[in-house]
Amino acid sequence: MRATVENLFALQQLQLQTVPASAERNAKIRKLREKIPVPVLSHFDRLMAMGRKGVALVHDGICRGCHLRVPSGTAASLARPKDLYLCDNCGAYLLVPLDEINPPVDSTPPMPVPVPVRKTRKKPVATAV
Protein backbone atom coordinates (compact mmCIF):
# COMPACT_ATOMS: atom_id res chain seq x y z
CA MET A 1 0.00 0.00 0.00
CA ARG A 2 2.93 2.32 0.53
CA ALA A 3 3.63 2.17 -3.20
CA THR A 4 0.10 3.43 -3.93
CA VAL A 5 0.51 6.44 -1.63
CA GLU A 6 3.98 7.14 -3.04
CA ASN A 7 2.50 7.08 -6.57
CA LEU A 8 -0.21 9.48 -5.41
CA PHE A 9 2.43 11.78 -3.93
CA ALA A 10 4.45 11.73 -7.16
CA LEU A 11 1.25 12.46 -9.11
CA GLN A 12 0.48 15.37 -6.80
CA GLN A 13 3.96 16.79 -7.28
CA LEU A 14 3.58 16.61 -11.07
CA GLN A 15 0.12 18.19 -11.03
CA LEU A 16 1.17 21.04 -8.74
CA GLN A 17 4.16 22.06 -10.88
CA THR A 18 3.89 25.60 -12.19
CA VAL A 19 5.83 24.99 -15.40
CA PRO A 20 3.78 24.70 -18.58
CA ALA A 21 2.46 21.23 -19.38
CA SER A 22 4.60 19.15 -21.71
CA ALA A 23 3.96 15.90 -23.52
CA GLU A 24 6.54 14.12 -21.33
CA ARG A 25 4.91 15.35 -18.11
CA ASN A 26 1.44 14.35 -19.34
CA ALA A 27 2.76 10.86 -20.18
CA LYS A 28 4.19 10.51 -16.64
CA ILE A 29 0.87 11.61 -15.16
CA ARG A 30 -1.01 9.10 -17.32
CA LYS A 31 1.31 6.24 -16.28
CA LEU A 32 0.98 7.09 -12.58
CA ARG A 33 -2.82 7.31 -12.82
CA GLU A 34 -2.92 3.81 -14.36
CA LYS A 35 -1.08 2.34 -11.34
CA ILE A 36 -3.56 3.73 -8.79
CA PRO A 37 -6.89 1.99 -7.99
CA VAL A 38 -9.99 3.88 -9.20
CA PRO A 39 -11.63 4.51 -5.76
CA VAL A 40 -8.39 5.89 -4.36
CA LEU A 41 -7.84 8.03 -7.44
CA SER A 42 -11.38 9.44 -7.33
CA HIS A 43 -10.93 10.53 -3.67
CA PHE A 44 -7.56 12.08 -4.57
CA ASP A 45 -9.07 13.93 -7.57
CA ARG A 46 -11.95 15.20 -5.43
CA LEU A 47 -9.52 16.71 -2.91
CA MET A 48 -7.35 18.24 -5.64
CA ALA A 49 -10.43 19.74 -7.33
CA MET A 50 -11.31 21.50 -4.06
CA GLY A 51 -7.84 23.08 -4.04
CA ARG A 52 -6.48 20.87 -1.24
CA LYS A 53 -3.63 18.41 -1.29
CA GLY A 54 -4.53 14.77 -1.82
CA VAL A 55 -1.46 13.44 0.02
CA ALA A 56 -0.04 14.97 3.18
CA LEU A 57 3.31 14.11 4.73
CA VAL A 58 3.44 13.28 8.43
CA HIS A 59 6.40 14.68 10.40
CA ASP A 60 6.69 14.00 14.14
CA GLY A 61 3.08 12.82 14.25
CA ILE A 62 1.69 15.99 12.68
CA CYS A 63 -0.19 16.08 9.37
CA ARG A 64 1.41 18.70 7.12
CA GLY A 65 -1.86 19.18 5.27
CA CYS A 66 -3.83 20.60 8.20
CA HIS A 67 -1.07 20.91 10.86
CA LEU A 68 -2.97 18.87 13.44
CA ARG A 69 -1.67 15.91 15.41
CA VAL A 70 -2.47 12.50 13.95
CA PRO A 71 -3.86 10.00 16.50
CA SER A 72 -1.04 7.98 18.04
CA GLY A 73 -2.46 4.67 16.82
CA THR A 74 -2.57 5.93 13.24
CA ALA A 75 0.92 7.38 13.51
CA ALA A 76 2.25 4.04 14.74
CA SER A 77 0.48 2.19 11.92
CA LEU A 78 2.00 4.52 9.34
CA ALA A 79 5.47 3.23 10.19
CA ARG A 80 4.53 -0.19 8.75
CA PRO A 81 1.59 0.50 6.45
CA LYS A 82 -0.64 -2.40 5.48
CA ASP A 83 -3.53 -0.14 4.52
CA LEU A 84 -4.20 3.39 3.31
CA TYR A 85 -4.70 5.97 6.05
CA LEU A 86 -6.59 9.25 5.82
CA CYS A 87 -6.19 12.28 8.03
CA ASP A 88 -9.25 12.56 10.28
CA ASN A 89 -9.32 16.33 9.81
CA CYS A 90 -8.39 17.18 6.21
CA GLY A 91 -9.09 13.82 4.52
CA ALA A 92 -5.72 13.63 2.77
CA TYR A 93 -3.88 10.33 2.39
CA LEU A 94 -1.07 10.17 4.93
CA LEU A 95 2.53 9.37 4.04
CA VAL A 96 5.53 9.18 6.36
CA PRO A 97 8.85 9.94 4.65
CA LEU A 98 11.29 7.02 4.63
CA ASP A 99 13.93 8.98 6.53
CA GLU A 100 11.54 9.23 9.51
CA ILE A 101 10.75 5.51 9.43
CA ASN A 102 14.42 4.53 9.21
CA PRO A 103 16.42 7.41 10.68
CA PRO A 104 20.08 7.56 9.68
CA VAL A 105 22.36 5.72 12.05
CA ASP A 106 24.82 7.94 13.91
CA SER A 107 28.28 6.38 13.82
CA THR A 108 29.71 8.45 16.67
CA PRO A 109 29.98 6.57 19.96
CA PRO A 110 27.78 7.82 22.77
CA MET A 111 29.28 10.06 25.40
CA PRO A 112 30.17 8.21 28.59
CA VAL A 113 27.92 8.98 31.52
CA PRO A 114 29.90 10.19 34.52
CA VAL A 115 29.45 8.03 37.59
CA PRO A 116 28.85 10.09 40.70
CA VAL A 117 31.45 9.62 43.41
CA ARG A 118 29.96 8.88 46.76
CA LYS A 119 31.51 10.79 49.60
CA THR A 120 31.90 9.07 52.95
CA ARG A 121 31.07 10.84 56.14
CA LYS A 122 33.52 10.88 58.96
CA LYS A 123 32.17 9.52 62.17
CA PRO A 124 32.42 11.88 65.09
CA VAL A 125 35.05 10.85 67.57
CA ALA A 126 33.76 10.40 71.11
CA THR A 127 35.82 12.27 73.68
CA ALA A 128 36.18 11.05 77.26
CA VAL A 129 35.61 13.59 79.97
Domain assignment present for residue 49? The answer is: yes
| Integer Cα distance of 17 and 14 in angstroms | 5
Domain assignment present for residue 106? The answer is: no
Domain assignment present for residue 112? The answer is: no
CATH of the domain at 49: 1.10.287.1490
Residue range of the domain that includes 64: 2-101
Domain assignment present for residue 91? The answer is: yes
Q: What is the pTM of this model?
A: 0.73
Domain assignment present for residue 116? The answer is: no
Domain assignment present for residue 126? The answer is: no
Domain assignment present for residue 59? The answer is: yes
Domain assignment present for residue 42? The answer is: yes
One pLDDT digit (tens) per residue for the chain, 129 residues: 788 999 999 999 999 988 888 899 999 999 999 999 999 999 999 999 999 999 999 998 999 999 999 999 998 888 887 889 999 999 999 999 887 766 556 667 777 888 888 777 777 777 766
| Structural domain total, the chain | 1
